[in-house]
């Protein structure tokens, strides 16, 4: 037997803003909402599908350091540079976490400063 990642829970200051940003990045939709969380996931599939859902839950303390776990994303319908421009237009920003500048990926941060990487290789949509 093995496990599969079914959902990722992301602490945040503004769950509305984070859910909207990541929905736009991933093409996800809102699946559910409670007072203290918003869950987003693939349209028509939701929880339990081949892609994990994301749950945003507000916390009072701010992010202080580089994350020990981050999300990698790959473009599905355009090249890396076109996708980089799209992500920046959605509110992502480039960040320096000590990369040498020769990497094939871009290190970005979401609107709350959570690091994620845009990889070069194009993947087929799920």
H-helix segments, the chain? 15-26, 80-90
Q: Which pLDDT does position 18 carry in this prediction? A: 98
E strand intervals along the chain? 7-12, 29-34, 37-41, 53-58, 71-73, 93-94, 106-109, 115-118
pLDDT higher than 80, residue 19: yes
Q: Which pLDDT does position 12 carry in this prediction? A: 96
Q: Are strands 93-94 and 71-73 parallel, antiparallel or unpaired?
A: unpaired
Q: Which pLDDT does position 97 carry in this prediction? A: 85
Is residue 92 within 8 A of residue 109, CB to CB? The reply is yes
Question: pLDDT tens across 33-90, in order?
Answer: 999 999 999 999 988 899 999 999 999 998 888 888 899 999 999 999 999 999 999 9
């Amino acid at each position: 037997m093995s496990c599969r990642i079914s959902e990722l829970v992301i602490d945040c200051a503004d769950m509305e803003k984070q859910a909207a940003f990541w929905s736009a990045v991933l093409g996800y939709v809102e699946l559910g909402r409670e007072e203290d969380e918003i869950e987003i996931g693939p349209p028509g599939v939701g929880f339990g599908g081949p892609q994990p859902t994301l749950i945003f839950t507000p916390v009072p303390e701010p992010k202080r350091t580089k994350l020990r776990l981050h999300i990698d994303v790959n473009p599905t319908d355009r090249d890396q540079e076109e996708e980089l421009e799209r992500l920046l237009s959605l509110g992502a920003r480039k960040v320096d976490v000590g990369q040498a500048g020769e990497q094939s990926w871009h290190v970005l941060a979401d609107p709350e400063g959570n690091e994620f990487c845009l990889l070069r290789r194009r993947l087929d949509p799920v």
